[in-house]
A and B are shown apart, each in its own frame.
Chain A
Amino acid sequence: MLTLKCPYCDVQAEETELHAGGEAHLTRHGPDSSDDSFESYLFTRENPKGVHFERWRHSHGCGKWFHAARCTMTMEVFGTYPAQTTKPPQAILDAITAKRPGWTWRELS
């Protein structure tokens, strides 16, 4: 059962206090989008073995959404950060590079 630090509360919350929200950093595609891009927005997910970026909500706490960078294989957590951003902070990317040289995720590496 994993624990994640809520970046708003600074609480190391356990999984039972959290709600998982799937992949992070999706770009919403609205009414003008093509069938392909809309399909990809709704259904296409990375589902990696390794470095992943996810959305979590501190549901039994402050109620805020945040992002977590995590290794799906080892459960190592590289960092958490507020959800009000379109890409991970550089410090998190650097932390991942230090531990998983050569990693990639979508266009990130």
Chain B
Amino acid sequence: MSEPISALRRARYEGFVTVEEAGLQGMVQIRGDFDSEIFTRAVSSAAGVAMPAQREALWEGRQGLLWMSPDEVMLLCPYPEADRALARLTNDLAGTHHLALNVSDARTMFTLEGAGLREVLAKLAPVDMAPDVFRPGMLRRTRLAQVAAAFWLRSDTRAEVICFRSVAPYMMELLSTAAATGSEVGLHGD
């Protein structure tokens, strides 16, 4: 069997924030009726975490769920386990209207590490990144400069960003430029 590769094979940049492509990441796109207990129970048990609330990211180790819209969540898991999670969901939701797809290869995930990560994101996204407003566990779908992206904070010093795979080189360059040493704004996290 062929070994898959991520878009940038863990490219890394160290500025005032460290930017790294996270490598292969399992992602299962799930759409369904959040009011249906069958649905939410199946999703929760496949992910191993509770259903996230509006704009919330929930995780337990490498398993997680991201709130994407009122009828969509993204399940996070190790890359090789995505098909298994998908099969489990499909089985649990047989007969229930839903959509579940392994989209691990469609997107690229980046990690940002460092106290200045709020500034890096605030240079690129029209989002209030103030610590009292955007807190760990919150997720935002928006744009970073010219491309669609979602990001969430694992902590005040670690953020994760996902975008479409085709723009991964653009995103890497973008995040690296925003994180370049000397361009600290000096507003958040210093």
A residues with CB within 8 A of B? 8-11, 13-14, 16-17, 60-64
**Apart from A16-B126, A62-B68, A62-B69, 6 more pairs, CB < 8 Å:** A9-B55, A9-B69, A16-B143, A17-B126, A61-B141, A64-B70
On chain A, the residues within 8 Å of B148 by CB distance are: 60
Tell whether, in the assembled complex, residue B143 and residue A9 are in contact, meaning their CB atoms are under 8 Å apart. Answer: no
Closest 8 CB pairs of A and B: A62-B69, A60-B143, A61-B141, A14-B126, A8-B70, A60-B142, A60-B148, A17-B142
Interface centre among A8, A14, A62, A63, by most chain B C-beta atoms within 10 angstroms, is A62
On chain B, the residues within 8 Å of A14 by CB distance are: 126
On chain B, the residues within 8 Å of A11 by CB distance are: 55, 140
Assembly CA distance A103 to B142 (angstroms): 35
Q: Which residue of B lies closest to A64 (CB)?
A: B69
On chain A, the residues within 8 Å of B54 by CB distance are: 9-10
Query: How many residue-residue contacts, CB under 8 A, span A and B?
Result: 32
Tell whether, in the assembled complex, residue A8 and residue B69 are in contact, meaning their CB atoms are under 8 Å apart. Answer: yes
Q: Which residue of B lies closest to A16 (CB)?
A: B126
On chain A, the residues within 8 Å of B126 by CB distance are: 13-14, 16-17
Assembly CA distance A68 to B143 (angstroms): 21
